[in-house]
Amino acid sequence: MKIVMLGAPGAGKGTQAARIAEKYGIPHISTGDIFRYNLKNGTELGKKAKEYMDKGELVPDELTCEIVADRIFMDDCAKGYILDGFPRNIPQGRYLTDVLTKADQKIDFAIDVEVPDENIVKRMSGRRACPNCGATYHIVNIPPKKEGICDTCGTELIQRADDKAETVKKRLDVYHDATQPLIDYYKELGVLKTVDGTQPMNDVFEDICKILED
Ligand code: ADP
Ligand code: ADP
Ligand code: ZN
């Protein structure tokens, strides 16, 4: 079960990917989380990626593609995985198809979580993230049990620097220009599935499970 999550920033990809990963026992691979982990640990990759992330731009493919290619062939990926935030443009999509083809593999599902731009800004301003375990909350829609504290690990939640309104606008532009064309790309590969991401979290999850179990 090899899955790609598509959708605008804030559509709920990460939220759904975490639940799918838990339910089906496959790894959740988020390039955003990998970059943030490197940033926190002050690695060379983290320093380079920060420059782009702060501006809401895509980190160059040279820094991104190889990381994913290494990750998806690790032992824990044998049963499948869920890619969240990769691919982000057509060259990354082609790169992924190529490395998989060479290994006689393919993506089984590309799930597009559809949410209109109007809803995105509200979602992003209320998003809170755990800097320790990566869990994501929303102050109104999906609040933690104790305000400001991660349910899973008890760490104090933060607002991501790139979730401020100007950066979100830029990220939405980047999404429409660079990422949205992947919807047609995966449609042509015959693996595109679409879910209505404006529904409550549990309903979106049910729709995705139906698709995966069909
Ligand atoms: P969101 O979940 O809100 O869409 P992510 O955590 O996926 O945000 O990504 C945060 C930032 O990390 C992006 O704005 C971009 O700078 C960088 N990034 C993440 N994944 C990729 C990728 N596949 N290619 C290039 N840059 C990426
Ligand atoms: P992405 O990974 O696509 O950037 P997230 O999963 O981080 O998106 O979700 C963005 C924000 O919206 C978070 O604050 C999250 O808690 C909230 N959220 C996720 N799914 C839903 C939903 N179905 N309804 C309302 N809010 C949601
Ligand atoms: Zn946590």
130-183 per-position pLDDT tens digit = 999 989 999 999 999 999 999 999 999 999 989 988 899 999 999 999 999 999
159, part of any domain: no
Question: What is the reported pLDDT for 165?
Answer: 87
Q: Is the CB of 93 under 6 A from ligand 1?
A: no
Instruction: Name the packing angle between helices 117-125 and 165-174 (round to 10°).
Output: 140
142, part of any domain: no
200, part of any domain: yes
Identify the residues whose C-beta falls under 6 Å from ligand 2.
7, 9-15, 123, 126-127, 136-138, 141-142, 200-201, 204
147, part of any domain: no
User: Which atom of ligand 1 is closest in space to residue 175's alpha carbon?
Assistant: 4
Provide the number of structural domains found in the chain.
1
Query: Could you tell me if 61 and 92 are in contact, meaning their C-beta atoms sit under 8 angstroms apart?
Result: yes
120, part of any domain: no
96, part of any domain: yes
CATH number, residue 59 = 3.40.50.300
188, part of any domain: yes
Near ion ligand 3, which residues have CB within 5 Å?
130, 132-133, 135, 150, 152-153, 155
What does pTM read for this prediction?
A: 0.96
Nearest CA to ligand 1 atom 12: 32
- The domain containing residue 56 runs over which residues? 2-115+168-213
> Which residues does the annotation mark as catalytic?
13, 88, 127, 160, 171
Question: What is the reported pLDDT for 174?
Answer: 97
149, part of any domain: no
